[in-house]
Amino acid sequence: MNTTQAPDRRKYRGVTLVELMVALAIGLLTILAIVQLMSSFGREQRISGSINDVQSSALIALNTISQDVQRAGHTLAHKRLQVCTMFKTNVDGAALADFSTAAVSIVDGGTGPDTLRIRYAESARGDTPVTLEADMTSATADLRIKPADGTYGIHVNDLLLVTNDGNQCTLRKVTAMESGPLWLRAAATASPNFNPATNPDGRVAYTTAANSLVFTLGSLTQRSYSVDATTRILGSRELLDPAGTQNPIAEDIIDLQAQYGITATAASDTVTQWVNASAAPWVTPGPAERKRIKAVRIAIVARTAEPDFRNPSTDEIVLWPEVTTAGAQLSVKRAFTPTGDARRYRYRVLRTVVPLKNLLWADFS
């Protein structure tokens, strides 16, 4: 009799279809959870990185502009230069765009970004002018400088600004200098000269009776800062560059705003009001108004490149806070609230006040 028992098939039973489907579902759910966790973590990393990027970008933009504003007005702050009402500025065959002796000019952008223009010169003579020893016989005649003033600090290719009591100002370029210490020549000959072809028609014949002065500007910087609303890039442009090339400085910048800090009188150094360049007389400040501008207030608004869809922003973004002094309003708040898709981004506002030290040290009496 065969006593061998049949094997228990339950011990060798495989995975049923139901069990397999359950295992697959659990595995898929686990993978999905991991993917969502990694996606959320990655999104948080991108948002955090984008916030850090715009913070750095705004700092770069603000520091670059602030450092330039600190130099504004160098060699241009003398009271005789600040009252120029007529300019002749054709140099090297072309007129200088937007030339002025104003240290800082703000072009109001309305609801869009402002444009900030900064001017300064570099000269060993600083604001110290030289005087004429003799009258110019014509608008193209030589400039004869008094022996006591000398030509120290005047070099070939320097720009000179000649002024008189009539507030007439002519910009001229030194193309060459006579070997002697007294003459800056203007004759169009083979001898050292100011080349009349590179200077404007209708120049003034400056005289000693009109207290004519010659200021050595050396090299002149006229730089414009603005924001491209399409690319969100803040850039600078050299106004002396005929090509007008825009040099990028910082990305993710959506707004640049600036205000003049003005004093009650030209002799005062205390800012009593902040004004936009949107209404007269601050759209184009004249000599009297320029003497009262002693500081500039700048605000930079940066926006993240990465949207945050979970936390739409409804907060008001304040560019200028309201400030009062002794019960009188010093400034007016300027703000905006993001709408539509703009609410999905994070914003950073950096602002600073830059005193115009070259104007504060100038003699405006």
pLDDT band at 195 (very low <50, low <70, confident <90, very high): very low
Q: Which residue has the higher pLDDT, 276 or 170?
A: 276
Rounded CA gap, 241 and 232, in Å? 23
Token pair belonging to 287? 């000599």
Angle at the Cα of 113 from the Cα atoms of 68 and 329, rounded to 5 degrees: 85
Q: Which residue has the higher pLDDT, 11 or 125?
A: 125
pLDDT band at 332 (very low <50, low <70, confident <90, very high): confident
CA distances (Å), origin 104, targets 65, 186, 284, 320: 11, 32, 11, 20
Rounded CA gap, 57 and 303, in Å? 10
Sequence-distant (6+) residues with CB within 8 A of 7 are: none
**Per-residue model confidence as pLDDT tens digits over 279-299:** 999 999 988 899 899 999 999
- Residue 72: which of 221, 272, 227 has the closest Cα? 221
Contact status, residue 70 vs residue 298, Cβ threshold 8 Å: no
Sequence-distant (6+) residues with CB within 8 A of 243 are: none
Rounded CA gap, 230 and 313, in Å? 22
At 23, the amino acid letter reads A
What percentage of the chain carries pLDDT values higher than 70? 79
**Per-residue model confidence as pLDDT tens digits over 235-253:** 999 877 766 788 999 999 9
Give the three-class secondary structure for 287: helix
pLDDT of residue 198: 36
- Residue 296: which of 113, 118, 126, 58 has the closest Cα? 118
Q: Does the reported pTM lie above 0.95?
A: no
Rounded CA gap, 18 and 303, in Å? 52
Contact status, residue 144 vs residue 100, Cβ threshold 8 Å: no
The residues facing 285 across adjacent strands are none
pLDDT of residue 200: 42
